[in-house]
Amino acid sequence: MHTVATIVYDAVNPFELAVATEVFGFERPELGVSWYRFLVCAVEPRPIRTSVGIFLTTPYCLEHVAEADTVIVPSSRPGIVSVPETLLDALRAASQRGARIISFCTGAFLLAAAGLLDGRRVTTHWAWAAELAKHYPLVQVDPHRLYIDDGQVLTSAGTAAAIDLSLHIVRQDYGADIAAAVARRMVVPLHRDGGQAQYIETPLLLPTNEEEPFGATLAWLASHLGEELTVEQMAARAVMSPRTFARRFRAILGTTPHQWLLRQRVVLAQRLLETTNEPVERIATRCGFGSAATLRLHFQRLLHISPQTYRHAFQRDKALP
């Protein structure tokens, strides 16, 4: 029987613990297969306080992690509490003996602290991805994926992505039919379209000083995204040469005028898809893409999902007239 151990520690996220319990902890005799042996292993023998103040007790401790074929580390808020070296040692020992290691959301920080992510492609919640990359430069952080399977180590993005990764693991262990049956019982899709990029909050206009020409130019551009715009036109409005404007643009915003314009147009398209029933062709024109095909191309490239699928997932009012 395959043993799954989920580690609980101070400030652990109870939702992600619940995901692990729901997928791996419940007996499923109706599926006709021998299910996982599931252990909740506490870092300390005392009750563990979760991130919302609930206290957990369990008969299992870090010593029982040595019995596990799969080890799961749910998230917490990095830096809130110190991570015991005994926990990091348990993760290292599990990795060395070949156990499958999984993190949910910011649980990736613990795997990184144990040295288990060096040289690997991983993901975490998009809001923490830059922090993970900054503190652990040997880790290849991809903030756009819902989960990444890098062989022995698997990582997921924020919160509900723990479900996506867990079902992926069931599919690995038992096949697509069993994984689909578990997903149906949980009333969730077996696979979600797109990646984490579609959930990242992107402001329509990055803040800058509108009292000087460059800031005023950005503000003007944000309200004229539907027009044909060239770098020469942008530079003239900012009272700069095109070369100086492009250099200033990269220094302040970290990208080129062209790429910034594409991103802002996609962000505007997201807002229109969420809040209107306008056809994709009309939205493409309003956002300056010229055609629906061009909108779809850049939308897919930046968000890894089609405009229509995005609308179905995020439209705020399905009954809009």
pLDDT at 201: 54
Query: Quick one: angle between helices 257-275 and 292-303, nearest 10?
Result: 100
- For the ranges 68-72, 126-130, 249-253, the lowest mean pLDDT is seen at 249-253
Report the sign of the C-alpha dihedral through residues 311, 317, 319, 321, in that order: negative
The arithmetic mean of pLDDT across residues 261-288, rounded, is 90
Q: Which domains are seen in the chain, by residue range?
A: 3-197 (3.40.50.880), 213-314 (1.10.10.60)
Q: What is the pLDDT of residues 55-81, one digit of tens each?
A: 999 999 999 999 999 999 999 888 777
First to last CA, the chain: 55
Q: What is the pLDDT of residues 74-111, one digit of tens each?
A: 998 887 778 899 999 999 999 999 999 999 999 999 99
Question: If residue 89 lies in a helix (H) or strand (E), which one and from where to where?
Answer: helix 85-96
Q: How far apart are CA 81 and CA 274, in angstroms?
A: 38
Q: Are 36 and 71 in contact (CB under 8 A)?
A: no
CB atoms within 10 A of CB 212: 11
Return the higher-pLDDT residue of 193 and 3.
3
Which among 143, 189, 198, 152 has a CA at the least distance from the CA of 172? 152
pLDDT at 283: 94
Task: Judge whether residue 320 has pLDDT over 50.
Answer: no
- pLDDT band per the 50, 70, 90 thresholds, residue 250: confident
Q: How far apart are CA 9 and CA 50, in angstroms?
A: 8
Q: What is the pTM of this model?
A: 0.67
